Structure 1
Amino acid sequence: MNNIRVLVVDDSAFMRKMISDMINEADGLEVVDTARNGEVAIKKIKQFNPDVVTLDVEMPVMDGLTALKQIMRDIPVPVIMLSSLTVEGANSTIQSIEFGAVDFLSKPSGPISLDIENVQQELVQKIKAASQANIYKYQLDEKVELKQTTPNFKYQQFIVSIGVSTGGPKALQTLLQDIPKNFPAPILIVQHMPPRFTKSLADRLNRISNITVKEATSGELLKEGFAYVAPGGYHLRVENKNSSLVTVLDQTKTISSHCPSVNELFQSLANISGFNHIGLVLTGMGNDGTIGAKELKEKTDSNYLMAESEKTAVIYGMPRSIVEKVGADSILPIDQMAIALTRLVK
């Protein structure tokens, strides 16, 4: 099997070397070249035709966002953004995924960083996933075979929960911007993302949505027409307290490798009775959400599972796991899910 060929783009010579060393030490990966800014990167993509590009956000001559838009328009290739942990860096990172980047990684702080091995492991994992990503635009007039069954809901009230990972910000934007203002259910969202980034994501989604989107805080009373995004580093759960549904945030270690975890959200909802539960699993690698979705099906008597179609999922890992191991009640392209969801709750 041929190695996955990577182009490393960063303003800092030190950072280019550190990232290149991390990649070259991994089995199955190799750095074909490096570039110091977006302008040089575009030339080298055309020259080397890499499988994946790691792209810094902040660079002189041509910054990462400008380069990304040109890359995705003219020479599409899977891109992983490297971002600082500043508020500005988080905002730019969310924007980059909307522009077509597959994923992002927080920059390591330096050669003596205590978590350098974790950063390397995450970088390698994300490059391997990105090399398999679906980065080509889905054509809305494509004829696709889809599954969509009729629900048998028993109750008046609904709870909607969404699990998503790689490629999630763009998928969530496509979904939430078509949800009507008077949507008659609360929406809970777990997006695999570190602290700071989830706040930027929630704020950006709120600006383009008809409903209110916010980063969740612990102890909030769930309201219809609101979407609650799990903060990075915290599990988002729901509890029934005094006949009201409230959010619970905690950092309890679980068997899941993610925090927040889709499984944790779904499993908490499986203990809430008297509601129609609609769970959506969108793009993402791995299988987070599968265990929780099984519990939703087994413990609740009125539920419906929706999975994003392989046609539009950037990474068809999490949705595939739901389809194959749990059984999805509907499988839809991301651009059709809001209409279907709205019809279900109305």
Structure 2
Amino acid sequence: MNIKVVVVDDSALMRKILSNMINDCQGMEVVDVARNGMEAMKVIERAQPDLVTLDVEMPMMNGIETLKAIKDNHRFPVIMMSSKKNNKITIEALELGAEDFIEKPISIKENWDTFKNDLEARIRVHFPEEKAVRSNEKKNKLLPEQLLDKKKSLEAIAIGASTGGPKALVHVIQSISEHLDIPVFIVQHMPEGFTASFAQRLDTLTSVNVVEAQENMRIKPKMVYLAPGGKHMIVKNNYIKLNEDPKIHGVRPAVDYLFESVAEAYGENTLGIILTGMGNDGANGCQAIKQAGGYILSQDKGTSIVYGMPRVVYERGLSDQVGSLYQIADIIKEMTR
């Protein structure tokens, strides 16, 4: 059975482009389109889609208002269609429950294949063929002895996330204790131009400082460093280093880059955390942290928007502990106070 998609966009050209791209993907079909939020709500009731692509800027009822109405009445995933100028609104949409967003390229004609492949992947990831939930995960107590033993010696926390990450990170960041005395490093797969707004938003939600990392920024305790979109981030000699080396797993920044450098810098005194996201970025980095004697915590399937990155870590035997998003937040709170 095909994945049924409704496309919502005030641009007739964009509706046509998205419809053609999606209909060209095996197992997907656009069952209807809408020009604005008000029309979208009627179309959704009639078409009963499996997923909606939603433009951020629309007349009569904008993307945020439409998203709220959808989430109040439906459970299907929503992917926002955004641009750099709408980065703050996009971050708000992710906090309100949008599962993902795609940045519209300046020239779709020149980036047709890349944009189409990205769109297809971000739709398909919400409909995995395997429906079975793993039931053999270890039911660990919140702070097992192995983790408690690291509390006094902990020197750094590294977090990696992708699809669904912004909303998860909001929850996690809010749990950090005001007594944090170590640095926290984050890689969230996000395009250039969006991470600055995201860092600013996170900074307003916690008692510690959150910044978008910059080249040669000296690493300080009580700070949270978010990797900028479009650049890999590593730590070296107590400084942040950024580069534009080739993408890993199709992404830049990559979690693996950060985790491997953190493992080298902080060794056994590292807590690595893998949150929701598609793909396998972070698994090699987790292995590096494990080999250095650090501790790996991965998000469970039940609270992951996409159980991809944490699943690979778990299935490779790299996760010391599997926890829900809420348990992970509680663990971070305990480990940082």
Q: When the two structures are superposed, what TM-score results if normalisation uses the length of structure 1?
A: 0.90
Mapped to 2, the partners of 1:48 and 1:104 lie a distance apart of 22
- 1:259–1:247 CA distance, 2 compared to 1 (3 A): same
Structure 2 partner of 1:342: 333
CA RMSD of aligned residues (A): 1.9
Once the two structures are superposed, residues 282-310 of structure 1 have per-residue CA deviations (whole angstroms, 9 ceiling, x without a partner) of 00011110011111111x13x11111121
Structure 1 partner of 2:253: 260
Once the two structures are superposed, residues 63-91 of structure 1 have per-residue CA deviations (whole angstroms, 9 ceiling, x without a partner) of 111010111111221100001221xx011
Q: Displacement, 1:37?
A: 0.5
Choose which of 309, 316, 319 in structure 1 pairs with 2:307: 316
Q: Displacement, 1:150?
A: 2.2
Once the two structures are superposed, residues 100-142 of structure 1 have per-residue CA deviations (whole angstroms, 9 ceiling, x without a partner) of 1110001233453x21210111001101113459xxxxxxxxx
Once the two structures are superposed, residues 247-285 of structure 1 have per-residue CA deviations (whole angstroms, 9 ceiling, x without a partner) of 110011154321000001111122124661000000001
Q: Unmatched 5+ residue regions in structure 2?
A: 130-136
Structure 1 partner of 2:222: 225
Mapped pair 1:97 → 2:88: no
Mapped pair 1:288 → 2:281: yes
Identity of aligned residues (%): 40
Structure 2 partner of 1:150: 145
Mapped to 1, the partners of 2:259 and 2:317 lie a distance apart of 13
Once the two structures are superposed, residues 160-217 of structure 1 have per-residue CA deviations (whole angstroms, 9 ceiling, x without a partner) of 0000000111100001112112212100000000001111110111111111111000
Q: Displacement, 1:145?
A: 7.0
Structure 1 partner of 2:133: none
The one-letter code sitting in structure 2 at the alignment partner of 1:117 is D
Mapped to 1, the partners of 2:319 and 2:71 lie a distance apart of 32
Which runs of structure 2 are paired with 1:1-346 in the superposition (5 Å)? 2-86=1-85, 89-112=86-109, 114-132=110-128, 146-148=139-141, 149-151=144-146, 152-153=149-150, 156-240=153-237, 245-253=238-246, 255-273=248-266, 276-298=269-291, 300-301=292-293, 303-345=294-336
Residues 216 and 230, structure 1, Cα contact 8 Å, conserved in 2 = yes
SS at match of 2:264: coil
Residues 51 and 131, structure 1, Cα contact 8 Å, conserved in 2 = no
Q: When the two structures are superposed, what TM-score results if normalisation uses the length of structure 2?
A: 0.92
Q: Unmatched 5+ residue regions in structure 1?
A: 134-143
Q: Displacement, 1:224?
A: 1.5
SS at match of 1:22: helix
Mapped to 1, the partners of 2:128 and 2:186 lie a distance apart of 25
- 1:110–1:18 CA distance, 2 compared to 1 (3 A): farther
Mapped to 2, the partners of 1:154 and 1:38 lie a distance apart of 49
Residues 147 and 329, structure 1, Cα contact 8 Å, conserved in 2 = no
How many residues of Structure 1 are paired with residues of Structure 2 in the alignment?
326
The one-letter code sitting in structure 2 at the alignment partner of 1:80 is I
Residues 138 and 322, structure 2, Cα contact 8 Å, conserved in 1 = no
Mapped to 1, the partners of 2:322 and 2:248 lie a distance apart of 28
- 1:255–1:232 CA distance, 2 compared to 1 (3 A): closer
Structure 1 partner of 2:132: none
Residues 196 and 232, structure 1, Cα contact 8 Å, conserved in 2 = yes
SS at match of 2:271: strand
